[in-house]
Structure 1
């Protein structure tokens, strides 16, 4: 929830920062307005205002980026993908066993009987280095 709110604020700040940067002139003036050097919306006054707003929005952008990165990292957790899958507990000898034949299911006796539950086929692991036939067990060392 908080990540969504911060991400929304981040997008708004990005759009505002883009708009403020595009409003500035590359020669140092702002909004392309002429006029005297005095007054709030003169070229100099608008340039100072847009420069200050750019600095503020840039700082908010970087702070939000850092906060989003830290919060997303905490949400994922400190464990790696391999630790979460628990690959160490898999027995490699059980992976190459032939599939057991499925037990025969009796036909339903009445027309209103529920169909039997669906069963998934047994997964098979194919090793491209061994071929299609199962590998022979290694001879024991003397």
Structure 2
């Protein structure tokens, strides 16, 4: 119950933090889009308010993230993966035994043609010169 409430507050803080950061005036002039005097929040006081709000929302965001992590860890309990597996019931002498292959059924001859095979590739080195054709067998 508490975890759900904190998660809801966390999402609201995230959305508010995104909105406040996007409302701030760009001071670096990234991609040539520097903040001019035509913006609706140009006063120095508005900049200070947005900066303070960003710091407050950022701090709340990090505290909520830490709290949610701790609560989620406690809710799962202190059990580890080894505790959940039945390690005591395993016999160590059977762990490294080779597996016995399953018997396979004998191949049934069929009327299907033999599978096609690819010709053997011939490697020709560029350093040996032009490849010579193999000599044809001669029949006397």
Structure 1 length-normalised TM: 0.56
Aligned mates of 2:3, 2:101 — CA distance in 1 = 49
Closer, same or farther in 2 for the Cα pair 1:31/1:58, shift >3 Å? Answer: farther
Counterpart of 2:99 in 1: which secondary structure?
A: coil
Give the match for residue 74 of structure 2: 74
Give the match for residue 32 of structure 1: 39
Offset, 1:42: 5.2
* Pairwise CA RMSD: 3.0
Counterpart of 1:53 in 2: which secondary structure?
A: helix
- The unaligned stretches of length 5 or more in structure 2 are 29-34, 104-140
| Cα contact 1:13–1:57 (8 A) shared by 2 | yes
Give the match for residue 16 of structure 2: 16
Report 1:59-138 matches (<5 A): 59-90=59-90, 129-132=99-102
- The unaligned stretches of length 5 or more in structure 1 are 34-40, 94-126, 134-142
Offset, 1:92: 7.7
Aligned mates of 1:31, 1:49 — CA distance in 2 = 19
Closer, same or farther in 2 for the Cα pair 1:131/1:31, shift >3 Å? Answer: farther
**Aligned pairs, how many?**
94
Counterpart of 1:26 in 2: which secondary structure?
A: coil
| Higher relative contact order, structure no. (Cα contacts within 8 Å, ≥ 6 residues apart) | 2
